[in-house]
Amino acid sequence: MNTITAAITAVGGYVPDFVLSNKVLETMVDTNDEWITTRTGIKERRILKDADKGTSYLAIKAAQDLIAKANIDPLEIDMIIMATATPDMMVASTGVYVATEIGATNAFAYDLQAACSSFLYGMSTAAAYVQSGRYKKVLLIGADKMSSIVDYTDRATCIIFGDGAGAVLFEPNYEGLGLQDEYLRSDGVGRDFLKIPAGGSLIPPSEETVKNRQHNIMQDGKTVFKYAVTNMADASELILHRNNLTNQDVDWLVPHQANRRIIDATAGRLELDDSKVLVNIERYGNTTSGTLPLVLADFEDKLKKGDNVIFAAFGGGFTWGSIYLKWAYDKK
């Protein structure tokens, strides 16, 4: 029996229509376009303005885009992994609702939360299910409505985040393509530096937590930046060394879109030319779980069968890692 590897066979993406530009942010908080662009590389981000729509809406749209482009029957999907840090609600899984809404009624689904590394961790999980031989079609969705947890009076965070979603389909491959290796790590020291303090079991919601804006994302930017630069670069470099890859062997770097300086530092450590680094942060900002699949959706035309692709991410918690994947198809 041939060895099964797990390959990405289709991608989809979705971002809302409303554009929140740096110029608009200048009217909301004490900041300016030059300051934001210089420090983050972000020019604009997309925002889901509808008050009655949550992360599930973004996820459904991204999944439907994939299904339509790949021309697959939703009933053939075996399982759905919903990578998100902003589920619609507590307890009731967002992934389960998404599965029903897209017609994947034969699939079981659940949510996976590892902050900005959620999709990267989800790639590992989806691949493991496929490689086990038990499941043939695993849909991995990364989606976040970050505007729902951002304090738009806090200039340290409101300039960074946007809303968006992306999806990929993992299927068995017998040509040796797909996920080759992974290096995933976490460190609980990060709990103090990037978090939403209230709303969980430690500090349940109350009038006081709402008044104190404790349900909004908070971060110690300098500390997070330092950890992110070091760990994303270290993980990516280790993956290359472990697989005897040089910078010439790498076709594409797909980095988490949190900050352009972090992306550049990771690419610099790997000595990769800018032309090999896929970046769309200037248009979307940090969509958390949505960044990696949105990059794939935006640059699908560039990816060719057999390409060596390195993924890297860093998120709150802290969580981080890198994945080496061989691309499995040419876009038709």
Catalytically annotated residues: 116, 256, 286
CA 244/CA 128 separation, integer angstroms: 23
CA 12/CA 70 separation, integer angstroms: 9
CA 291/CA 285 separation, integer angstroms: 9
CA 245/CA 218 separation, integer angstroms: 38
Closest CA to 177 of 79, 308, 67, 74: 308
CA 18/CA 93 separation, integer angstroms: 27
- CA 104 to chain centroid: 22
Helix (H) or strand (E) holding 87: none
Closest CA to 227 of 248, 200, 268, 258: 258
Helix axes 55-70, 291-298, angle to 10 degrees: 30
DSSP β-bridge partners for residue 20: 45
N-term to C-term CA, the chain: 30
